[in-house]
Structure 1
C-alpha cells in the first residue's frame, strides 16, 4: 500500500461532519445504527452485537438503546450537531433507539419511517391443513 493512499484513508476516516443521517435498522434479531453524511457515505456504525450483547439479548430494546448511545456518542465526538433519522424494520428496538438519540443532544430535523411495505406483492404461502 502506498503512502499516499494510506494518508488519504486516514483523512477520510477522521473527517468531521456537522450534519448527518442516522439510519436505524431494527430487525427481530439485532438493531444496527449507521451514521452517514448527507451524501450517504458511512461515517460509523454500531450494533447491539458489536456492543457486547450476544444471543437472545441482542434483540432486546435495552441492547438497541446501548447501540444507539454508542453510535451517537462517537458521532458527536466527530462533530455531529444536526441529524435526520431514518427508521427501518419492525424490531423491538426501534422506539428505544430513537429515544436514546433524542436524549443525546443531537438536533433532529426530522424522523422518517422508511420500512419497505409491499403493495400486495408476493403471493402468501398456502393455508396449513392440520
Structure 2
C-alpha cells in the first residue's frame, strides 16, 4: 500500500521590524460613512493605517466623531511603536470625524 505524501511548506514568518522614523505625515480621509487615518513616512510609504470599521465600529456608528477618534488613536499608537514623534496632518473629505481625528492625533 502506497503512503500518501503530504505537501508541507514551511510557513514564512514575517518579523515585525521597527523602522525608527521620527517625522511623518498623517492623512485623514473623512467621508460621510467612514474615517480612514493613514500615517506615512516623508516619502509617502505607509507606516500604519486604521479605519473606523477596522477598529470595531459597524454601520452608521463608523461615521461618528468618536469612531474617528478611536481610529486615529490606534493608528498613532501603532506608528509610535516605529519611533514616530511628529507628524504633519493632511485632511480630506467632508465627514464629521475630521476634527475629532485631528484632536486625537494631537493628544496621542
TM over 0.5: yes
Unaligned runs of 5+ in 2: 1-11
Q: TM-score of the superposition, structure 1-length normalised?
A: 0.70
2:36 aligns to what? 32
Hey, which bits of structure 1, 4+ residues long, moved more than 6 A?
Answer: none
1:50 is paired with a residue of what secondary structure?
A: helix
Provide the residue aligned with 1:51 in structure 2.
Answer: 55
Is the contact between residue 32 and residue 96 of structure 2 (CA under 8 Å) also seen in structure 1? yes
In the alignment, structure 1 residue 102 sits paired with structure 2 residue 106: yes
* Structure 2 SS opposite 1:15: coil
Pick from 7, 15, 19 the counterpart of residue 15 of structure 1. 19
Task: Name the structure 2 match of 1:128.
Answer: none
> Which structure has the larger Rg over C-alpha atoms?
2
Structure 1 gaps of 5+ residues are 1-5, 105-130
Separation in structure 2 between the aligned mates of residue 73 and residue 53 of structure 1, nearest angstrom: 18
Partner of 1:79, secondary structure, is coil
| Length, aligned pairs only | 97
* Partners of 1:96 and 1:34 in 2: CA distance: 15
Aligned to 1:92: 96
Displacement, 1:54? 0.3
RMSD over aligned CA atoms reads 1.6
Q: CA deviation at 1:10?
A: 4.3
Secondary structure of residue in 1 paired with 2:24: strand
Give, in whole Å, the separation in 2 of the partners of 1:94 and 1:26: 6
Task: Give the superposition deviation at 1:14.
Answer: 3.4
